[in-house]
């Protein structure tokens, strides 16, 4: 069997002639990085090692020491209440986002009513608010001196809080409601895509058998859409377990806050890592849940071609009810928090100006820009390698490297700090012994640690956008360049990168915005006296100086609107339907 002088994508490859040889070839294909230049392979292994390092550090730390007294204290006072609160919060958020997301997705997908086109976009707007920003606004809105209770006292003549009853909003139910109003778009997006792509023949057949709208929904649409709904639900639950700011604003103790408090207040990184490893078990379960649903979703979507069906026209009270069901999540999930933030931000600007915002803006933008450059470059590199190589081992390695988004920021911060601190201590010890110099913190406690954490956490977003871009390009470009003697590096640089500019821009925007919004990892890894927009909001809430945090929060919302607009435009292209 002769081999081709060059082994690149699309070039003739040797094939096994026998069943035994075929099995051997498949085994070698799994165990080798098929068709990769050595330089690309070295870069791949270096990047994968950087991604794996925090997870290995968590394992090493968790076996590094067991503080029996601290664990006994946590067991008696903190741990199990935190587990119970986390599970209760997940359950309530899961129920709420499913109800809101599925109901609104069904109405805008298959019904015709006034305002439907506007609401189909507006229902995405809460995605622009991080959960901690929405919680920050609602704590002010619902507080004793906030607009709502002030209006109640003025309207009815009450003098103090003892004169009237007001629900306890600083509770699990209150936090779940506020977080659900921000996270329901995850379910709305996936459910709407599924409802829109379902084949019309199924609905037509059901209608000929006398099925009404309710039967169409419960007997046909919902069973077919449940894998997509589970995907959106898993994403919302991952955001729930990652949250640190909102739960603290509402006075709750979850597993994330427990990791944070054990690390900072108890100064026990080993115990924090042990709790983080337990936390990762919950994350792995959510990941399995989401991946299993994605496989089922592909099966359902491949079962038939999508054809447009006649929308259900609603009139009178039904039209009003449909409009209200879709408008209320937008009002309470976006308009109310933004209105509260805008009023306080305006008062702050009139009294104190915006000079105090310059430093957090510069810090947020500079960190976001550097992290975006590194993350998008690595994401594009991974996507290119998957495109040009048929190696199963490489695909598995890339899948592992792009799991960071599922890991809570507080857990990731614990894993990032340990190897960086170990490196700093080793260098400092060597320099002291050799030259008598103190090097101090080189990597940990600097912007490098933040960029490193952002890179691991948001690499999946960059990879996903770049992978989609590569899938839309014809492989013939690479085939032709390889036959002309171009190396794989040259093909990527000269052919693919210019053609991938739209996908790269989208990936850069998504990563940059999420870096600006990230709170848990930033809180735990930031240098001393270093503030970003996210940490300024957190510090203002902790000090109960709402007006000082309103403008940074509003800036985060404004930045967050950019990917929402891009996502809406992309959805309109994918889910194009007749004008209603």
Query: What pLDDT score was predicted for residue 294?
Result: 60
Q: Is the dihedral of CA 474, 403, 256, 252 positive or negative?
A: positive
State how far the Cα of 57 lies from the Cα of 458, in Å rounded to an integer.
19
Residues 219/203, Cβ–Cβ less than 8 Å: no
> Residues 6 or more apart from 96 whose CB is under 8 A from it?
176, 177, 180, 184
Tokens of 255: 């597993």
Q: What angle do helix axes 392-401 and 38-62 make, rounded to 10 degrees?
A: 50
Distances (CA, A) of 455 to 40, 258, 415, 502: 19, 24, 13, 21
- In this predicted model, what pLDDT tens digit does every residue of 340-376 receive, in sequence order? 999 989 988 888 777 778 899 999 999 999 999 999 9
Task: State the greatest distance between any 2 C-alpha atoms of the chain, in Å, as a whole number.
Answer: 94
> Residues 6 or more apart from 69 whose CB is under 8 A from it?
none
Tokens of 289: 């849940």
Q: Of all residues in the chain, what percent carry a pLDDT higher than 90? A: 27
Q: Is the pLDDT of residue 236 over 70?
A: yes
Query: What pLDDT score was predicted for residue 12?
Result: 36
Tokens of 252: 């709750």
DSSP-assigned beta bridge partners for residue 313: 112
> Could you tell me the pTM of the whole model?
0.81
> Residues 6 or more apart from 93 whose CB is under 8 A from it?
176, 179, 180, 183, 236, 237, 240
Domains in the chain (CATH in brackets) are 35-57+354-543 (1.10.3720.10), 65-352 (1.10.3720.10)
DSSP-assigned beta bridge partners for residue 131: none
SS3 letters for 409-471? HHHHHHHHHHHHHHHHHHHHHHHHHHHCCCCCCCCCCCHHHHHHHHHHHHHHHHHHHHHHHHH
- In this predicted model, what pLDDT tens digit does every residue of 5-42 receive, in sequence order? 434 433 334 344 444 444 544 444 444 555 566 777 88
Closest CA to 131 of 256, 281, 301: 256
- In this predicted model, what pLDDT tens digit does every residue of 313-335 receive, in sequence order? 888 899 999 999 999 999 999 99
pLDDT level of residue 572 (50, 70, 90 thresholds): low
pLDDT level of residue 55 (50, 70, 90 thresholds): confident
User: What would the mean pLDDT of 142-151 be, rounded to a whole number?
Assistant: 89
Q: Is the pLDDT of residue 508 over 80?
A: yes
Query: What pLDDT score was predicted for residue 314?
Result: 85
- In this predicted model, what pLDDT tens digit does every residue of 94-129 receive, in sequence order? 999 999 999 999 899 888 899 988 999 999 999 899
């Amino acid at each position: 069997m002769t081999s081709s002088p060059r082994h690149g994508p699309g070039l003739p490859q040797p094939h096994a002639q026998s069943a035994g040889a075929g099995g051997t070839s498949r085994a070698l294909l799994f165990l080798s990085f098929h068709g990769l230049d050595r330089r690309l392979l070295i870069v791949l292994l270096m990047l994968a090692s950087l991604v794996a390092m925090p997870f290995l550090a968590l394992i090493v730390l968790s076996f590094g020491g067991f503080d029996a007294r601290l664990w006994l204290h946590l067991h008696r006072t903190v741990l199990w209440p935190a587990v119970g609160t986390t599970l209760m919060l997940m359950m309530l958020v899961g129920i709420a986002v499913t109800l809101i997301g599925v109901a609104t997705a069904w109405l805008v997908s298959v019904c015709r009513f006034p305002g439907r086109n506007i609401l189909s976009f507006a229902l995405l707007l809460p995605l622009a608010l991080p959960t901690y920003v929405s919680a920050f606004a609602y704590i002010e809105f619902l507080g004793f001196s906030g607009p709502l209770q002030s209006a109640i006292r003025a309207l009815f003549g009450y003098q103090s809080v003892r004169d009237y009853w007001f629900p306890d909003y600083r509770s699990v139910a209150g936090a779940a409601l506020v977080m659900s109003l921000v996270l329901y778009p995850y379910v709305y997006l996936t459910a709407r895509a599924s409802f829109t792509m379902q084949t019309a023949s199924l609905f037509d057949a059901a209608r000929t058998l006398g099925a009404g709208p309710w039967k169409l929904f419960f007997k046909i649409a919902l069973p077919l859409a449940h894998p997509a709904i589970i995907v959106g639900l898993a994403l919302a639950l991952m955001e729930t377990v990652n949250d640190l700011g909102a739960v603290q604003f509402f006075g709750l103790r979850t597993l994330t806050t427990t990791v944070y408090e054990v690390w900072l207040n108890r100064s026990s990184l080993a115990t924090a890592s042990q709790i983080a490893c337990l936390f990762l078990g919950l994350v792995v379960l959510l990941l399995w849940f989401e991946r299993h649903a994605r496989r089922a979703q592909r099966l359902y979507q491949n079962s038939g071609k999508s054809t447009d069906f006649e929308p259900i026209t609603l009139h009178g009270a039904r039209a009003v009810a449909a409009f209200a069901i879709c408008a209320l999540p937008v009002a309470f999930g976006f308009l109310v928090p933004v209105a509260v933030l805008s009023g306080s931000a305006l008062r702050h600007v009139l009294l104190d100006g915006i000079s105090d915002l310059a430093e957090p803006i510069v810090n947020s933008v500079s960190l976001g820009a550097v992290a975006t450059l590194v993350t998008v470059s690595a994401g594009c590199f991974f996507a290119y390698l998957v495109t040009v190589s048929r190696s199963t081992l490489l695909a598995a390695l890339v899948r592992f490297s792009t799991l960071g988004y599922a890991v809570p920021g507080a857990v990731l911060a614990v894993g990032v700090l340990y190897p960086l601190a170990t490196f700093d201590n080793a260098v400092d010890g060597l320099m002291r012994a050799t030259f008598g110099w103190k090097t101090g913190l080189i990597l940990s406690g600097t912007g490098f640690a933040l960029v490193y954490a952002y890179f691991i956490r948001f690499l999946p977003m960059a990879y996903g956008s770049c992978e989609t871009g590569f899938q839309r390009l014809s492989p013939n470009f690479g085939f032709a360049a390889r036959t002309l003697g171009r190396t794989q590096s040259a093909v990527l640089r000269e052919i693919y990168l210019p053609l991938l500019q739209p996908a790269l821009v989208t990936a850069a925007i998504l990563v940059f915005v999420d870096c600006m919004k990230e709170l848990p990892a930033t809180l735990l890894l930031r240098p001393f006296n270093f503030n970003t927009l996210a940490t300024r909001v957190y510090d203002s809430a902790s000090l109960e100086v709402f007006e000082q945090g309103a403008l940074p929060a509003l800036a985060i919302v404004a930045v967050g609107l950019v990917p929402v607009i891009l996502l809406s435009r992309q959805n309109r292209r994918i889910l194009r339907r007749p004008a209603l």
